[in-house]
Amino acid sequence: MQATNFSLTQYCKRIAYDGELNADAATIHQLMQHQLMTVPFENLDVQAGKIISLVPEEIVEKIIERNRGGYCYEVNGLFAMALEALGIEYQFIAARPMFYPVRRPKTHMAIVAKIDGKQWLCDLGFGSYGVRAPIDLGECEKSIKQDCDLFMLNKSGTNEYLLSACVEGSWAKQYAFDLSPWEWIDFVPANYLNSTHPDAIFVQKRLVIIQNVSGRIILLGNALKVVHQEDVTKLDVEDSDLDQVLQTYFGLSAARVV
């Protein structure tokens, strides 16, 4: 994944990372966590009636130059550019969201990075209960603690995986995937569906999420939820206060959300 305007230096500045840059697992752990806690998952362009651009240069311009966030294709695409710049081998994978009451197509995109003989699931764009750090695909059938959250990978067959998260004390399915490699262009139909279909949650409601060490902050529609470990604070946001909420909680300037 390459973009002519991508700079690893500017990427690190955007995600507030000033550590070492090596082609190793420790670096991708740090980059992923820094990006999750500085670049919000958000669908504000979809809510404005736009179809999300998958042009790599436009993703860089949006997230790095205009200080925006994005949804899975955008934030994972940006992370893939960083992996590319570091010389880390990776592949895109298509995942099937599993928390809906009916079976859905594989509309989610994630990344599997390959380092020192291990495969790491990297995903910066699944929202509330997405993983918070890379997960070794060899670490299956056991609880994986990441900050305040618990995850589990279950494997069936040779390369079929199911990611679950512990939600309110119970394991909840998040998405299923296999290791069939997808090209960037393969996600165009799913992106169009998520940008335009009336059944897509991104079309139905405003969704903005930022992760932090102790939890996450979620804006769904006009409902703001601040999750701090076991404590949850809920607030109703008036339309007149929306710009201030986006700036205060998510670092999104209203002037750039256009």
Task: Write the DSSP string, 157-207.
Answer: TTTEEEEEEEETTEEEEEEEEE---B-GGGGHHHHHHHHH-TTSHHHHS-E
- Are 42 and 69 in contact by the 8 Å Cβ rule? The answer is yes
Helix-, strand-, coil-residue percentages of the chain, each rounded to 5: 30, 30, 40
Structure tokens at 198: 């009336």
> Whose CA is closest to 128, among 229, 13, 41?
41
Would you give the DSSP letter of residue 70?
B
Residue 84: per-residue pLDDT: 97
Q: Say how far apart CA 199 and CA 13 lie, in whole Å.
A: 37
In the prediction, which pLDDT does 28 show? 97
By C-alpha distance, which of 128, 121, 132 is closest to 99? 128
Phi first, then psi, for residue 127 (nearest 5°) are 90, -140
What 3-state DSSP class applies to 139? coil
Alpha helix stretches (DSSP H) within the chain: 8-14, 25-36, 44-47, 56-60, 72-86, 188-196, 201-204, 242-250
Domain boundaries, the chain: 8-256
Give pTM, 2 decimals. Answer: 0.94
Largest CA distance in the chain: 52
Please identify every stretch of the chain with a pLDDT value under 50, giving residue numbers as ranges.
Answer: none
Instruction: Tell me the CATH number for domain 8-256.
Output: 3.30.2140.20
Give the pLDDT score at 34. Answer: 97
Tokens of 163: 């990611």
d(CA 194, CA 100): 15
pLDDT for res 254:
60
| Percent share of the chain, pLDDT over 70 | 98
Output the pLDDT for position 257: 58
Rounded to a whole number of angstroms, the distance between the first and last alpha carbons of the chain is 26
Distance of CA 73 to the CA centre of its chain: 8
Residue 151: count of CB within 10 angstroms of its CB: 22
Q: What is the pLDDT of residue 229?
A: 78
pLDDT reported for residue 234:
94
Tokens coding 36: 């999750």
Rounded CA-CA distance 257/215 in Å is: 25
Q: Which two tokens stand for residue 43?
A: 């669908």
